[in-house]
Structure 1
């Protein structure tokens, strides 16, 4: 079996695979990892539906994806989806359900990171709403469209180690807002969502997994100053050196960073990744101590917390699944 690692790219993952006949939904295909994920999949024959907030921007950005589809026999289309608006999420889900064409995989890639405090139109803290609640609502509403034996991939992050979820104060109504804590909460929520979704869908053979792509220079950091990014990298390197003498942190290329979600969606063994947190195209082990480079915090894969988050999410959006 091929061994993948931190240097593995999307093309490495898909080498020799034919995805003809596969239909895959990818959120956030206007830039960065979403565009590369779509390009790689359509290049191997898949039909990709990209869900984006700004259709005009996505149309302009996706020329390479369409070229890869034409060459590889795949297909690419776009739908409107604003994850920060439950009305938009529900409209997108309703349109997909009405269309009635099934999906073999869903990749919940879209996200915002470390943004200034803001509330969505529905009154939720923006990062928790966009990164978790929007995807929670969308995926549950279209779950009947996912083929038996399919896959759901939810983008988490090493930043989940910044904070557990806070189910008593998810919208920072009492706690002082910190953009990185809020981002960490949302990424922990992503990991926990995969745990409970996997438990609920695996009777249909559908497996859900959370992935950490690895650091890369994408549009995700547009709200983070260079000084803050430099400080974060310095912290990562200091902890890693103290723990293991690990080499300095190095950004991945976009194809390397998109590889783990592509691997988890179409190449990995479902039984191996179901309900798990993955990084560098492998299932991650538990992270111990203050490590911020490898592994997953136990709280981010805790089954009881995952069920509690599910119930809280249903309460917040006023919808049960």
Structure 2
């Protein structure tokens, strides 16, 4: 059963009756918020979850509930991964490949949002470097470990509607930096990466999809200036009132992680492959005004030629070429 599910569905509702015993799942960002809940829900259905986190001590503390809720052979293993350092990405991916155990689902969940101007260890703009390039290298290096019938799930955002990627100036060397603009670029990149990864791997039965989890209050907002979230909510609610709609309500963390587990373990592969999902269904293409909470994906984020161009630019930036 793949539905009907929606914006208020939780991870436990989406996975009700699903047996993931014997499945192995990798989740990045398993030290807080959506990553922890995603890992918990999967391990509770019997999945062996490998949680990747930059701060292992923090992840150990945060994932106590994951181990406590594990059932039917499910469990959790933590590995260190700093997506803002390609040295860390390469070290961890090399260890996983050397280990040789395969994955049925990889959920690229980790990320940063609206950070001040900064750079990764390799000199990339922080958000593009962490949210996109770190995952780009990591996932491609372990792609051979994703079993036929497996799936890549990239956690993107409705924030992709703030901006398309800029392949001419990805590091803001010639563009005035704006936190939300940079976030939008990185989240569009997450979708385009899924589109091209899906094209390259679907012949061997591996599919990829991207999604918006919804508006959730997590650590992701830690870089926002004081009052910034309140200002954004005021603008959103003014727009909603003008449309005769009720005020915006945040999702709970179990509701926010529901689309990740739905897209990874419940939805049909052909339904979500190469697509963008939200509220536990495949979204439709919409253009026009930016509304941070309305549904819809911009056409530039699903454009296959655009996805190929981003892939080539990403390979150039990281100095590594990945086979078709």
Pairing 1:269–2:259 present = no
Displacement after TM superposition at 1:254 (Å) = 0.3
CA contact 2:156–2:187 (8 Å) conserved in 1? yes
User: How big is each residue's C-alpha offset from its partner over 1:96-134, in whole Å with a ceiling of 9 and x where there is no partner?
Assistant: 000000000100000000011101110100000000000
Task: Give unpaired runs (5+ residues) of structure 2.
Answer: none
* Equivalent residues of 1:127, 1:182 under 8 A apart: yes
Distance 2:212 2:106 in 1: 16
Q: Deviations over 1:188-211 (max 9, x none)?
A: 000111111100010011110001
Count of paired positions = 319
SS at 2:314 equivalent:
helix
Name the counterpart of 1:112. Answer: 112
Paired with 2:308 and 2:241, the residues of 1 have a C-alpha distance of 36
- Rounded to whole Å, the distance in 2 between the matches of 1:226 and 1:123 is 28
Corresponding position of 1:142: 142
- The answer as to 2:284 corresponding to 1:285 is yes
Q: How far off is 1:231 after superposition? A: 1.5
Q: Residue 90 of structure 1: SS of its match in structure 2?
A: helix
Answer whether contact 1:240 1:291 (CA < 8 A) is retained. Answer: no
Instruction: Write the mapping of 1:35-46 to structure 2, written as runs, cut at 5 A.
Output: 35-46=36-47
Following superposition of structure 1 onto structure 2, how do residues 124-143 of structure 1 map, counting pairs within 5 Å? 124-143=124-143
By how many angstroms is 1:230 displaced? 1.2
Deviates more, 1:195-204 or 1:245-254: 245-254
Match of 1:24, SS state, is strand
Mapped to 2, the partners of 1:238 and 1:169 lie a distance apart of 34
1:234 counterpart residue number:
234
Instruction: Report if aligned partners of 1:195, 1:209 keep a CA contact under 8 Å in 2.
Output: yes
Hey, what does 2:21 align to over in structure 1?
A: 20
CA contact (8 A) 1:52 1:80 kept: yes
- In structure 2, C-alpha distance between the alignment counterparts of 1:211 and 1:166, rounded to whole Å: 21
Matches within 5 A, 1:150-229: 150-229=150-229
User: Are positions 1:84 and 2:96 aligned together?
Assistant: no
CA distance, structure 2, for counterparts of residue 42 and residue 311 of structure 1: 36
User: Are 1:58 and 2:59 matched, yes or no?
Assistant: yes
State the match for 1:96 in structure 2: 96
Measure how far apart 1:241 and its partner are: 4.3
CA distance in 2, matches of 1:40, 1:91: 28
Comparing both structures, which one devotes a greater share of its residues to helix? 1
Q: Distance in 2 between matches of 1:251 and 1:162?
A: 20
Q: Which 5+ residue runs of structure 1 have no aligned equivalent?
A: none
Deviations 1:289-315 (A, max 9, x none): 214211001111111111100000000
Quote the Cα distance in structure 2 between the aligned partners of 1:245 and 1:200: 44
How far has the Cα of 1:245 moved from its partner? Answer: 2.9
Change (3 A) 1:113 1:267: same
Alpha-carbon shift at residue 61 of structure 1 (Å): 1.1
Q: Is residue 302 of structure 1 aligned with residue 303 of structure 2?
A: yes
Q: Using the alignment, how far apart are the partners of 1:259 and 1:170 within structure 2?
A: 31
Q: Tell me how far apart the structure 1 counterparts of residues 28 and 46 of structure 2 sit (CA, whole Å).
A: 19
* Separation in 1, partners of 2:175, 2:297: 25
Q: Is the Cα contact below 8 Å between 2:21 and 2:72 reproduced in 1?
A: no
Contact 2:113 2:127 in 1 (8 A): yes
Determine the structure 2 residue equivalent to 1:316: 317
